[in-house]
Amino acid sequence: MSLPIVVLAGGLATRMHPLTRTCPKILLPVAGRPFAEHQIELFKRQGIAEVVYCISHLGDRVAAALGDGSKWGMTFRYVFDSPLAGTGGALYLALPWLRTHDAFFVTYGDAYLECDFRAIEQHFRTSGKWGLSTDYLDIEYGLGILTPRALAACGCAPPVALTTLYRTLRSMHQLARYTVMARFHEIGSPEGLDDLHRYLSQRLSSHAR
């Protein structure tokens, strides 16, 4: 797979206070390790080799903790934005690192998504659209594909939400949809963090037997 993935991790994570007052949400410990490491290994299993992190709040700590990606045989880049840019606005700031690709995945820094990225990319290629969003039980799943052309066509300057970009593309009939059957995990809430901790701990325990 040649597509890079953009990870939107620049929010203030106020729902996770006090944990995220001094620790970026993407680095919160889950099953004994920073969440980002679990997410990176999931990306690697899906064949992704390049990650662009859009960071802001405590972003220096994210870059220092993860480095250039060589630890995983991958390439990491960091784009410092502002929480005021919005999840969609961060993508415009990342465009200089994305223009060499015809498309890219986009996800959130608190999402752990065990779906088939290859199948999603194939569906996107077949659709001929400028973008794709995923859903699970009619809920937005947290993974999409966009093209530089899509961002140019939407013409939305920061601040703007990713959902606004999707809505604009949908109105232009340029947004494909893909229904994912695997449930999603997230650490955007205390309940989600606890749930993913149990899930990964149980899986790691079963693999150790």
Residues 76-96 have a mean pLDDT of 83
Alpha carbons 13 and 29: distance in angstroms, whole number: 15
Residue 70 and residue 45 in contact, taking contact as beta carbons nearer than 8 Å: no
Q: Yes or no: is domain 5-208 CATH 3.90.550.10?
A: yes
Q: What value does the mean pLDDT take over residues 79-83?
A: 78
Which tokens in the block code for residue 141?
């799943």
- Lowest-confidence segment of 26-30, 49-53, 66-70, 164-168 by average pLDDT: 164-168
What predicted TM-score, i.e. pTM, was given to this entire model?
0.94
SS3 (DSSP) at 134: strand
* Confidence band of 142 (pLDDT split at 50, 70, 90): very high
Alpha carbon distance 175, 107 (integer Å): 16
